């Protein structure tokens, strides 16, 4: 009897699993048919048979434990073969101490272990050979997205996200030859598009760029796209916060000090319409700074009606509710659909 129930659930997919079955994937309701059966048969080959050692010489071919040495997965809802395969492989890794990796390449799903290619699952219509193998030998298995930043902390956040989609992440530190893209746009989207689309054209790669800032309602949306340099070309967090307090010095009613942190994320790829997602984090500008965490305007930003400053939140608390965290959640939902349209 299985001790642990595995589950994966998002808006388009819902899988339940237990170990101790017959390496079977079955569907509920409308989730069934030959396609699911064939996928189940293919994935089952990934499970290595291991003798329990109590078979009196029968060995691998006759182990009495084999009938229960596998997974049993129920599919409640499915739109992504990749997510289903990734779910099953995760169970196999945990239960058998394997090191299988699941990646996407040109809409195909690739499973590897070390330097061994074990399994390739193709969509019903197949994929273009040039898209799968790439135009040069430098393309390793798995799609890659280039994050338009040199900030390793920000890159780490995105790497964690895209790892769930089987996509490798690199940043501008991997491409020192690339020029700095000047942010000359008048909106967050214009700046994010400028970075993502320019770098995508230069490299031929899929690129993600973001632009974020603070919008204060009584200031007509300022500092906005100028948030990082609000107090001048040599601005620091301290000087920007001081200028913001100065601009609001005669605004005493808290309801008139309403503001939003904003993030726009843009993903660009050659010969493809860019994906754009946005998110706001509403709050107010406090009368004084408070808190030691975060950066930028966090010490002055009161989170909604909580009375807490953004700089008082832990990193995990902030990522859960902030503009960037909300934008990333939206991106996670929209990205697989956008990518499948390539």
Residue 107 assigned ligand-binding role: no
Q: Residue 137: what pLDDT? A: 37
Whether the CB-CB separation of 13 and 85 falls below 8 Å is answered with no
Is residue 120 domain-resident? no
Is 57 annotated as belonging to a binding site?
Answer: no
Neighbours of 82 (CB within 10 A): 22
Does residue 100 carry a pLDDT above 50? yes
**Residue 205 labelled as part of a binding site:** no
- What pLDDT was estimated at residue 285? 97
- Mean of all residue pLDDT scores within the chain: 86
Looking at residue 223, which CATH number applies to its domain? 3.90.950.10
* Residues 196 and 312 grouped into a single domain: yes
Q: What is the pLDDT of residue 138?
A: 44
pTM score of the predicted model: 0.62
- What is the torsional sign of CA 146, 151, 152, 157? negative
88 and 195: one domain? no
318 labeled part of a ligand binding site: yes
Give the pLDDT confidence of 289-304 residue by residue, as tens digits: 999 988 899 999 999 9
Q: Is 152 annotated as contributing to ligand binding?
A: yes
Q: How many domains does the chain have?
A: 2
Question: Are 160 and 280 contained in the same domain?
Answer: yes
Q: Considering only residues 48 and 124, tell me which one the structure prediction assigns the higher pLDDT.
A: 124
Q: Are residues 334 and 273 in the same domain?
A: yes
Cβ pair 105, 143 in contact under 8 A: yes
Same domain, 91 and 164: no
pLDDT at 281: 95
- pLDDT at position 64: 46
pLDDT of 2 over the 70 cut: no
Indicate whether 95 pLDDT > 60. Answer: yes
254 and 151 in one domain? yes
- Looking at the fold, whether 185 and 52 belong to one and the same domain comes out as no
Residue 284 per-residue DSSP state = E
Residues in contact with 158: Cβ distance below 8 Å, sequence separation at least 6, in sequence order: 145, 147, 169, 208, 328
Are the beta carbons of 110 and 119 closer than 8 angstroms?
Answer: yes
Contact present, 312 and 290 (Cβ < 8 Å): yes
Is residue 156 located within the same domain as residue 81? no
Q: Would you say residue 114 lies in a domain?
A: no
Would you say residue 307 lies in a domain? yes
Tell me: pLDDT of 322 over 50.
yes
Task: Output the pLDDT for position 135.
Answer: 53
- Tell me which of 101, 123, 158 is where a domain ends: 101
Please tell me whether residues 202 and 276 are part of one structural domain: yes
Let me know: does 55 contact 97? Beta carbons within 8 Å. no
- How far is the C-alpha of 190 from the C-alpha of 223, rounded, in Å? 16
Confidence (pLDDT) at 248: 96
Is residue 82 included in any domain, yes or no? yes
In a domain, 133, yes or no: no
Q: Tell me: cis bond preceding 134? Omega within 30 of 0 counts.
A: no
> Whole domain around residue 58: which residue ranges?
5-101
Q: Model confidence at 7, in pLDDT bands (50, 70, 90)?
A: very high
> Is 77 inside a domain boundary?
yes
- What is the pairing mode between strands 301-303 and 108-113? unpaired
* Residue 113 falls inside a structural domain: no
In this prediction, residue 162 carries a pLDDT of 83
Instruction: Tell me: pLDDT of 321 over 60.
Output: yes
Between CA 214 and CA 296 the distance in angstroms is: 9
What local confidence, expressed as pLDDT, does residue 152 receive?
Answer: 84
What is d(CA 267, CA 274) in angstroms, rounded to the nearest whole number?
6
Q: Which residue has the higher pLDDT, 264 or 50?
A: 264
Give the C-alpha separation, 206 to 338, whole Å.
12
Known binding residue 141? Answer is no
The last residue of one of the domains, among 101, 136, 158, is 101
| Within-domain flag for 58 | yes
Span 51-91, pLDDT tens digits: 444 454 444 444 544 445 789 999 998 888 889 999 999 99
Q: Residue 68's pLDDT is what? A: 52
**What 3-state class would DSSP assign to 248?**
coil
Looking at the structure, do residues 235 and 289 belong to the same domain, yes or no? Answer: yes
- Asked if residues 206 and 200 have their Cβ atoms less than 8 Å apart, the reply is yes
Out of 48, 75, 101, a domain closes at 101
Task: Give the rounded percent of residues in the chain with a pLDDT score beyond 70.
Answer: 89
If asked whether residues 239 and 325 sit together in one domain, one would say yes
156 lies in the same domain as 61: no
pLDDT tens string 144-189: 899 999 888 778 878 877 887 778 899 999 999 998 898 899 999 9
Is 195 marked as binding a ligand? no
State yes or no: 155 annotated in a binding site: no
pLDDT digits (tens, 9 = 90+) for 305-317: 899 999 999 888 8
Give me the pLDDT at residue 66, please: 46
Q: Give catalytic residues, as residue numbers.
A: 211
């Amino acid at each position: 009897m299985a001790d642990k129930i595995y589950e994966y659930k998002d808006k388009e997919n819902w899988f339940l699993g237990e170990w101790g079955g017959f390496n079977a994937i079955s569907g509920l309701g409308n989730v069934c048919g030959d396609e699911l059966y064939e996928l189940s048969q293919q994935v089952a080959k990934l499970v290595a048979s291991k003798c329990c050692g109590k078979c009196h010489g029968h060995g691998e071919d006759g182990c009495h434990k084999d009938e229960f040495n596998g997974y049993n997965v129920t599919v409640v809802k499915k739109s992504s073969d990749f997510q289903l395969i990734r779910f099953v492989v995760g169970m196999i890794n945990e239960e058998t101490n394997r090191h299988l990796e699941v990646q996407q390449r040109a809409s195909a799903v690739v499973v590897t272990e070390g330097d061994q290619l074990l399994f390739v699952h193709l969509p019903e219509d197949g994929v273009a050979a040039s898209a799968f193998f790439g135009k040069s030998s430098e393309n390793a298995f798995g799609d890659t997205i280039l994050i338009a930043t040199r900030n390793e902390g920000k890159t780490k956040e995105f790497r964690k996200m895209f790892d769930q989609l089987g996509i490798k992440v690199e940043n501008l530190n991997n491409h020192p030859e690339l020029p700095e893209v000047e942010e000359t746009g008048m909106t967050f989207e214009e700046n994010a598009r400028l970075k993502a689309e320019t770098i995508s054209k230069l490299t031929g790669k899929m690129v993600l760029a973001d632009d974020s800032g603070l919008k204060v309602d009584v200031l007509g949306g300022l500092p906005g796209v100028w948030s990082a340099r609000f107090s001048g070309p040599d601005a620091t967090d301290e000087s920007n916060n001081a200028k913001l307090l100065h601009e609001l010095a005669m605004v005493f009613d808290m309801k008139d000090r309403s503001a939003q942190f904003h993030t726009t994320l843009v993903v660009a790829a050659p010969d493809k319409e860019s994906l754009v997602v946005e998110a706001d984090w509403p709050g107010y500008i406090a009368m004084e700074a408070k808190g030691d965490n975060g950066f930028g305007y966090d010490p002055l930003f009161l989170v909604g009606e909580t009375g807490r400053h953004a700089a008082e939140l832990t990193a995990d608390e902030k990522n859960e509710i902030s503009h960037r965290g909300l934008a990333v959640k939206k991106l996670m939902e929209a990205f697989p659909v956008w990518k499948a349209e390539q």
